Structure 1
Amino acid sequence: MFEYKARPDLLKNRIILVTGAGRGIGRAAAKTYAAHGATILLLGKTEENLNEVYDEIEAAGHPQAVVVPFDLEAARPEQFEELAAMVETEFGRLDGLLHNAGILGPRASVEQTSGEAFMQVMQVNVNAAFMLTRALLPLLRQSNDASIIFTSSSVGRKGRAYWGAYAVSKFANEGLMQVVADEMDGTAAVRANSINPGGTRTDMRALAYPAENPARNPTPEEIMPVYLYLMGPDSAHVNGQAFNAQG
């Protein structure tokens, strides 16, 4: 497990947007970031889940979050720009962006994966991440210390049979991270890195490995140290790197 001890006020006064904030790792990250002082923009498809996270953050006495219902699969390019305009109006900047939202798609061979299924996975996992990054970069540039975190996977670093669309999308996430990191290097106080969460007790993991005992895997809360490290100022010098939450 990645070891890092975050001070309680690590993210004080920071504005951080988390995609897929309603469940799993995104939910844990949103609550963890809020517990360390950040104002969280909770972005996700299911408003009911986002409202639950909002209420939990509020009940804990952390900075008031913002619920942002947003369908990454159906969103048109102009909607990403509208989202950025909302963030600019409300906050004037963005200090962090966690690309957590993603879908698994079919576990099938390339031959047996339909074009529609492939395009759906790429839309949510890659195209939306690109469009969101593109729209929010001007606001991230306004920060004195901004961090973008892309979510990767072991199959996004070494391809494996029957992981088709998902593996391709995660290779693309790694590539996008590297491109953004190189473009930001020396030009802005914005860094980009990726995290492979590893096997974690989430709904997606259960879908991918239905026969696996979930108790063998850590909870999302247990892998948060690397998420805190890369979002906070202690990693200001780290750019373009691939991390393992459990490595």
Structure 2
Amino acid sequence: MSQQVLENKTILVTGASQGLGEEVAKACAKAGATVILMARSQKKLEKVYDEIVRSGCPEPFAICFDMISAEEKEFEQLAQTIAEATGGKLDGIIHSASYFYALSPLDFQTVGEWVNQYRINTVAPMALTRATLPMLKASPDASVIFVGETHGEKPQAYWGGFGASKAALNYLCKVAADEWERFEHLRANVLVPGSINSPQRIKSHPGEAAEERKDVAEVAPQFVWWMSEQSRGRSGEIVYL
């Protein structure tokens, strides 16, 4: 794969301050993209921003935004901010931000936990994609990636709101892919990274040894491929990495 397959593209990565989001953002930058880093921690965002600049990649943008409390009008304002910063250019989104509480029996889980997991894992990707859709439609080649989880397809005990919200994310992807079928340049897919050394995986699978997991850097190139024109024509898929 060419090292500059994302040259001249502008890619938004949520959850870009750590873990999978950070690694994917760096991989996109190395592939030539101008990356919009988004997360709620300003300090962590600045660290990733500085690392990308030092590596000689295109200078990214950094936006501090808390999706757990954001309302519809705030997503619209965010889209306006992105449009003003990039001149209205946006060629893709990688929805890497994710929210996980803990594994527990259903009777221990709270409504608040379910609501927050749905807000970050399902509602926020929908709201952000909807708000930025005019820019994506204007792009000559646009890709939206939702980061899935195995329990979103195969429900198991104790996964509760997290598994349910990821299952809804799969549904969102299918709906988007069907609605965009008439747009040859616009696609949506779910990528499921599986067992990787990320903060969320360590929290959700505490008994798993580090050597049992893939390094995050191993799956990042596949995100680059799915953001590139090489994946054109592939839409509505759930892909296990």
TM-score class, shorter-chain normalisation, is over 0.9
Counterparts of 2:79 and 2:112, CA distance in 1: 29
Contact 1:180–1:192 (CA under 8 A) maintained in structure 2: yes
Counterparts of 2:36 and 2:15, CA distance in 1: 11
- 2:154 aligns with 158
Counterparts of 1:49 and 1:188, CA distance in 2: 37
Contact 1:41–1:66 (CA under 8 A) maintained in structure 2: yes
Counterparts of 1:78 and 1:219, CA distance in 2: 37
Structure 2 segments unaligned to the other structure (5+ residues): none
Equivalent of residue 38 in structure 2, options 36, 43, 59: 43
Q: Does 1:52 align with 2:47?
A: yes
Q: Which runs of 4+ in 1 moved over 4 A?
A: none
Q: Does 1:210 align with 2:200?
A: no
- Structure 2 letter corresponding to 1:198: G
Counterparts of 1:120 and 1:138, CA distance in 2: 27
TM-score (norm 1): 0.95
How far 1:158 moved relative to its partner? 1.0
* Secondary structure of the structure 2 residue equivalent to 1:87: helix
* Secondary structure of the structure 1 residue equivalent to 2:36: strand
Q: Percent of aligned pairs with the same residue?
A: 33
Contact 2:27–2:221 (CA under 8 A) maintained in structure 1: no
Structure 1 segments unaligned to the other structure (5+ residues): 1-5
Counterparts of 1:54 and 1:68, CA distance in 2: 10
- 1:133 aligns with 129
Contact 2:38–2:65 (CA under 8 A) maintained in structure 1: yes
Contact 2:23–2:216 (CA under 8 A) maintained in structure 1: yes
How far 1:175 moved relative to its partner? 0.3
Q: Does 1:241 align with 2:237?
A: yes
Q: Does 1:32 align with 2:51?
A: no
Output one character per residue of 1:216-244: Cα deviation in whole Å (capped at 9) or x when no partner: 21111111232111100100110101101
- Structure 2 letter corresponding to 1:12: E
TM-score (norm 2): 0.97
Counterparts of 1:74 and 1:23, CA distance in 2: 20
Q: What do you get for the CA RMSD once the two structures are aligned? A: 1.0
Contact 1:15–1:40 (CA under 8 A) maintained in structure 2: yes
* Secondary structure of the structure 2 residue equivalent to 1:81: helix
Q: Does 1:192 align with 2:191?
A: no
Q: Following superposition of structure 1 onto structure 2, how do residues 58-137 of structure 1 map, counting pairs within 5 Å?
A: 58-91=53-86, 92-137=88-133
- Structure 1 letter corresponding to 2:76: E
* Secondary structure of the structure 1 residue equivalent to 2:70: coil
Q: How many residues align?
A: 240
